[in-house]
Amino acid sequence: MRRAVPILALAAATLTISCIELTIDGSALGSVEFVQLPSPSIVVGDTLRDSSGNAFQLATRVYLADGTETTTFPVTYVLLDTFADLKGDYLIARSSLDLGTVPKQRIAATVGGLQSLVRTVVVVPRPDSLRAVGPLVDTIEYRTPSTAADTSVALAVRVVTGSTTLLAGVRDYVVTYRLRRPDSSIVPAADTSRNFWLLGTGDRATAIDTTDASGNASRRLRFRLRAGQAAIDTMLVEAEARLGARLLPGSPVRFTVLIQPRPAS
């Protein structure tokens, strides 16, 4: 025979459970953030570098349980593959590798008992030059009002390695684009409040690309005639890539984009 439990007894039990408190020490280790790497690739025998060619030191942000950033906990970096070594907090790609296998080096940061997300870089061959792919001159025939069709063709370049007769593309390599007026003054390349800006994949405004598996990178120039801003009939687009602190031979590749109204149909 089942025994009925009085409603008051149930209420008391619920109240007892709801009064349980959990105490968290705000000064305890809370979380680890392995800072994003500046490039998806590292050149064989070289160190990881930022977009300006400077050697990049691995960095990690450590937070206490209360969200406060702290520097009191030591950080250790762990290599999950054998394609690179650590020299202090600098990642150095090994110089003797079979690059035909596209070696990928995984790295993680550990602090106390916590491990960060795993970051990955591809070890690539040493690039020799940057070259144009396709025409260096294009024309945008713009409409009023502007439409998404007021865009140049892909202004494409290729990062290559090897002899002049046998060239191979270098994948996952950073290429930076820049906008100039005919007077050589620089235009902010991703500022969509102006007449001109550069487009990447998915029409996202960005001036930086990384090469695909064939070593190719590209951006497109978008034009929109805005009220109160002078129309320009020519814009220059420059693409460059670096090896360390110096520009790759062939950099910058210069494209000329002519701007003119679309003829009346």
pLDDT (0 to 100) of residue 99: 82
pLDDT given at position 14:
44
- Per DSSP bridges, beta strands 76-79 and 234-240 are unpaired
The answer, yes or no, to whether the previous bond of 38 is cis (omega within 30 of 0) is no
Buried-state track 112-148, b at ≥16 Cβ within 10 A, e below 16: eeeebeebebbbbbebbbbbebeeeebebebeeeeee
Q: Is-above-0.75 flag for pTM?
A: yes
Question: Tens digit of pLDDT for each residue in 131-183?
Answer: 999 999 999 998 888 888 999 999 999 999 986 667 899 999 999 999 998 88
What tens digit of pLDDT does each residue of 180-207 get?
988 889 988 888 888 899 999 888 999 9
> Mean pLDDT throughout 232-255?
94
Nearest to 93 by CA among 117, 52, 60, 124: 124
Which is more confident, 15 or 213?
213
pLDDT for the residue 163: 66
Give percent above pLDDT 90 in the chain.
Answer: 66
Three-state DSSP class for residue 96: coil
Looking at every residue in the chain, the average pLDDT score rounds to 88
Give tens-digit pLDDT for 27-69.
789 999 999 999 999 999 999 999 888 999 999 999 999 999 9
Which residue, among 169, 157, 87, 85, has the nearest Cα to 121 in the 3D structure?
85
